[in-house]
């Protein structure tokens, strides 16, 4: 955990994140690294806001900080922040795990050194298919969850391996392609069942 003793430095770190967010698509690549610094230093929790003459801004939950209007917070929705960090799975997973902070407690100190602690939240928010997969894996298969965050496999692949999603195969509309796919992905019993189904359909 990076410690920032100077309160003015905390405000500068948050201001840097605010500027990156305000640029939207143009600052897309700047948001994740700026957010990481703010999380690691916990600058979002409490700081004097220079734009308001040094009056303090204090937040118990990260979601409050995100949604609070400028200059105290980021002035955006959690979904917008997730979208800005969608290519950084570690950040995306932390943001998703913190969404229910108002119900499940303060998870703001769970982001340490770029690693995410496994958090089981009482209330799971809705989200994209990838966010839902990360949430399920974080709760029930932390081993696969860790592999996804380390880019060892995709979230969908982990869900398939865990048995939470069926395995799907894209096949060219060609008899030979179907046959090759069947030999590769189906068991002998499944192939026999497929042949019987094709015979019945004739």
Query: Comparing C-alpha atoms, which of 60, 64, 66, 62 is closest to residue 97?
Result: 62
Cα separation, 20 vs 147, whole angstroms: 29
Burial label for 125, CB within 10 Å (0-12, 13-18, 19+), is middle
What's the distance, CA 179 to chain centroid?
A: 38
User: pLDDT value at position 127?
Assistant: 55
* 3-state secondary structure at position 117: coil
Which of residues 172 and 35 earns the better pLDDT score? Answer: 35
pLDDT > 90: percent of the chain: 49
Q: What is the DSSP letter of 120?
A: -
The domain limits of the chain are 7-111, 126-167, 169-202
114: left (phi over 0), alpha (psi -120 to 50) or beta: left
Least confident of 107-111, 148-152, 166-170: 107-111
Least confident of 71-85, 107-121, 134-148: 107-121
For residue 108, what are the contacts with CB-CB under 8 A and spacing of at least 6?
39, 42, 44, 45, 61, 62, 98, 101
What's the distance, CA 109 to chain centroid?
A: 17
Q: Tens digit of pLDDT for each residue in 97-134?
A: 876 544 333 444 445 443 333 222 223 344 578 888 99
* 3-state secondary structure at position 36: helix
Q: Tens digit of pLDDT for each residue in 7-59?
A: 889 999 999 999 999 998 777 899 999 999 999 999 999 999 999 999 999 99
């Amino acid at each position: 955990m990076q410690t920032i003793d100077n309160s003015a430095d905390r405000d500068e770190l948050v201001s840097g994140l605010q500027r990156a967010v305000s640029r939207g698509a143009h600052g897309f690549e700047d948001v994740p690294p700026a957010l990481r610094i703010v999380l690691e230093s916990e600058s979002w929790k409490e700081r004097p806001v220079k734009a308001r003459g040094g009056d303090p801004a204090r937040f118990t939950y990260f979601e409050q900080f995100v949604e609070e209007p400028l200059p105290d917070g980021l002035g955006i929705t959690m979904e917008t922040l997730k979208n800005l960090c969608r290519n950084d799975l570690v950040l995306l997973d932390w943001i998703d795990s913190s969404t229910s902070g108002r119900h499940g407690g303060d998870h703001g100190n769970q982001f340490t050194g770029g690693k995410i602690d496994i958090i089981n939240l009482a209330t799971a928010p809705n989200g994209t298919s990838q966010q839902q997969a990360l949430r399920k894996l974080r709760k029930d298969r932390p081993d696969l969850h860790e592999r996804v965050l380390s880019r060892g496999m995709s979230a969908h692949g982990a869900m398939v391996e865990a048995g939470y999603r069926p395995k799907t195969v894209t096949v060219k509309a060609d008899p030979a392609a179907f046959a090759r796919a069947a030999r590769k992905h189906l068991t002998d019993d499944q192939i026999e069942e497929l042949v019987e189904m094709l015979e019945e359909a004739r």
